[in-house]
Amino acid sequence: MRVLTAIFVVLCVGFVAVMGFLYLRDGSLEQAGASMDEGLQKVDETTQPLQDGVGELGEGVKKTIDNATDGDDAT
């Protein structure tokens, strides 16, 4: 439980730090939020090949399990 709490606290502090920096740089929370959205959109676009690969891996695992059990969930 302490590990989850520590992860949560680190994420919250990081978010507040980034928003604080963007607020000081841009001068308003609205602009800071827009900058944050733009940055997160770029991250999503740059990780698209990884997302596709993980999706293909999941489909491969599903096919392997289906082949191993021949569709019978009891085995």
* 47-68 pLDDT, tens digit each: 888 888 888 888 888 888 888 8
Q: How many domains does the chain have?
A: 1
Which of the four pLDDT bands, split at 50, 70 and 90, describes residue 75? low
On the question of pLDDT at 72 being above 80, the answer is no
Classify residue 14: in a domain, yes or no: yes
Classify residue 50: in a domain, yes or no: yes
Contact criterion met (CB below 8 Å) for 75 and 69: yes
pLDDT value at position 17?
92
On the question of pLDDT at 37 being above 70, the answer is yes
Domain span holding position 11:
2-68
pLDDT value at position 4?
94
- Name, of 6-10, 39-43, 68-72, the range with top average pLDDT: 6-10
Alpha-carbon gap, residue 32 to 22, rounded angstroms? 5
List Cβ<8 Å contacts ≥24 apart for 37-46: none
